[in-house]
Every structure is written in structure tokens, then in C-alpha cells.
Amino acid sequence: MAKKKNKGPRASVSAESFGTFNKKADFKPRIVPKSEEATETILDKIKNVFMFSGLDEKELRIVVDAMEERSCFKKEVVIKEGDDGDCLYVVGSGTLSCTKIFKGDTEPTILKHYEPGEAFGELALLYNCPRAATIFSDGESTLFGLDRNTFNHIVKDAAIRKREKYEGFMKQVPLLEEMDDYERSQISEAFKDAKFSAGQQIIKEGDEGKEMFFLVEGEAFATKAIEEGKPAQEVKSYKTGDYFGELALLRGEPRAANVMARTECTCVTLDRHAFKRMLGPLDEILKRNQDLYIKYKKD
């Protein structure tokens, strides 16, 4: 508890406690009867969900067995901001919209849309806190729900470690530091690790832009041929917390420069789909920090 306090206050948030009346050893896997076809469908949907990526085959099977199918009608509210939460959902079919009312606003802001294979509702389970946003079905949809008990005993520890690893880094990134905890947690879900050795090319000028990069550790630099027929020259350097490769995703144009690893580099990436889904519209995030927005436009 003392270690947690040193990190600063977190209002109405606490980890799930285990004691005499809530022992992990007492856990008995929940089994919701379902067909083999339904089981395979759920496995297919959750295989790319980040919080399940560290589970072994046995643990995945426990999660799938515990999941219960839910059908939603158009505009049905699945979770409501401020409510207590006891279930995580994975989208099986259809899409859902996520909205949140920010401080000082009276109307909700649309944060993102959830598509098949994506999960939501985990924050209330991870941190034992109220729902951070409202999510409703755009049309008819199918969800697979995972109960709090199974989540706590099978998924929670690995999910917290991965989320905290990325969230700590994102607080060092000027573009992302003004986001609230909910937005930051959503982006961390889409991150993928990428490592490069010193001298290795990360981005090649003229290539199609499929992902953007955030530099976690190391140094990199950009080069560009300023004059035709002459060697490319260094035009920009990157350090921990910097990002690059986003312009090709925003503009839909080929890479405008080369990026090379000056030292051994550790990066996290967002692919084109996740970039548009997690950061879009980008102006909605940047407008809360006008200085960064102006600098971004100039760059």
C-alpha cells in the first residue's frame, strides 16, 4: 500500500483484495455451456486481445469456457459511465461506440468505436473502480462477457503489468501526456513492441506508411535527399519519448524520409487501423494542448 501511495493519489480506485474470505486458492472455474463452434469463434476473437496474449493454452480455455454470449439491440447501453462494473466484454459482431463526458463539458465526446475482436470494460475490473465511459451498440451486435472472478484469477496480473509498462512511458510523450487515464489505457492496448539494432533502418523513404513509432529507449535520426542526385543528409534526431511515422498515416502518402537507429532502439508501434481508431480524430486530443497542436502543425 505504501508503494502505491508514493505514486500519487488515485481517486476511488483500488486493487481487488484477497484475504480470508476471498482467497485465490478457492477459485473454481466457471463453465458456461456452449457449442464447439462458439468456442472456436470466441478463441478467434480474443487471440489478438492484448490482455489475453500472455495466457497459456490452459488459461485461455478457462477464459473461453467462462465467457457468456450476449446479444444487443441498436443503441443499447452496455456499460454506463459511473456505474459499477463486474464484467469485461469482447466484441463478437457489430460495432459499439464509446463516449465520455470530460470535465467542464456537458455533452459526451465520442472517443472511439469498438469492432469485432476488441475488448472493453476491463478498467473497472483491473482497478476496482466505476465505469470510466459509456459504451452502446451502434446496431445489432454480439458480445462475449467475462466475469470479474475469472478475470481476477486468470487474467488480471498479466494485464496490469503490461498496461502499467506502457502507461508509464506514455506520460513521457508530449503528444500523449495530456490525455486522461482512460484514453491512455485504450492506446496502450494497441501498442506492439519493436526492436532495432544500431544502424538498422526503421523507415524507408517512399515506402507505404503502415504504422507509426514511439521511441521507448535509444536514439534514432531521420535522413532525406534534399537535392536530387546527392546523398541523403540528416534532418532530424529522435530521443526517448519522441514519435515518428505519423504523417504518412494522417495524409495517406508514402514515407517522406528515412529513419535510422543511431543506437539500439526499443519502440512501440501503432498500425494504421489502430492509429485511426485510437487517436482519431487526432485534433480531439491535440486541441486540449494548443501549444503542442501548433508545434505539431508546423512540423
pLDDT for 69 beyond 80:
yes
The answer, yes or no, to whether residue 75 has pLDDT greater than 80, is: yes
CB 130 within 8 A of CB 84: yes
Please compute the mean of the pLDDT values over residues 116-134 and round it to a whole number.
89
Instruction: pLDDT band for 58, please (50, 70, 90 cuts).
Output: confident
More confident residue, 136 or 17: 136
Task: Name the pTM for this structure.
Answer: 0.56
CA atoms within 13 A on the CB side of 43: 16
Confidence of residue 173 (pLDDT cuts 50, 70, 90): confident
CA atoms within 13 A on the CB side of 146: 31
Q: What percent of the chain has pLDDT over 70?
A: 79
Better pLDDT: 122 or 163: 122
Q: Residue 17's closest CA among 34, 32, 4, 36?
A: 4
> What pLDDT is attached to residue 159?
67
Per-residue pLDDT at 289: 46
Q: Across all residues in the chain, what is the average pLDDT?
A: 80
Domains along the chain? 30-169 (2.60.120.10), 191-298 (2.60.120.10)
**DSSP string covering 201-246:** EEE-TTS---EEEEEEES-EEEEE--STTS--EEEEEE-TT-EESH
Among the ranges 50-59, 264-273, 289-298, which has the highest mean pLDDT value? 264-273
pLDDT band at 47 (very low <50, low <70, confident <90, very high): confident
The residue written with cell numbers 477459485 in the block is 27
pLDDT at 122 over 50: yes
217 vs 249, more confident? 217
Strands (E), the chain: 68-72, 77-79, 87-93, 96-100, 109-114, 119-120, 134-137, 141-147, 192-196, 201-203, 211-217, 220-224, 233-238, 243-244, 258-261, 265-271
Q: Residue 296 pLDDT > 50, yes or no?
A: no
Residue with the larger pLDDT of the pair 9 and 77: 77
**Using one digit for the tens of pLDDT, what is the confidence trace for 183-208?**
777 777 778 888 999 999 999 998 98
What pLDDT score was predicted for residue 239?
93
pLDDT band of 158, cuts 50, 70, 90: low
How many Å apart are CA 60 and CA 263, to the nearest integer? Answer: 38
Q: What is the CA radius of gyration of the chain?
A: 21
pLDDT at res. 292: 47
Specify the higher pLDDT residue, 261 or 106. Answer: 261
Q: What is the pLDDT of residues 237-293, one digit of tens each?
A: 999 988 888 877 777 788 989 999 999 999 988 887 776 666 554 445 545 544 444
pLDDT at 297 over 60: no
The total of other beta-carbon atoms located within 10 Å of residue 57's CB is 6
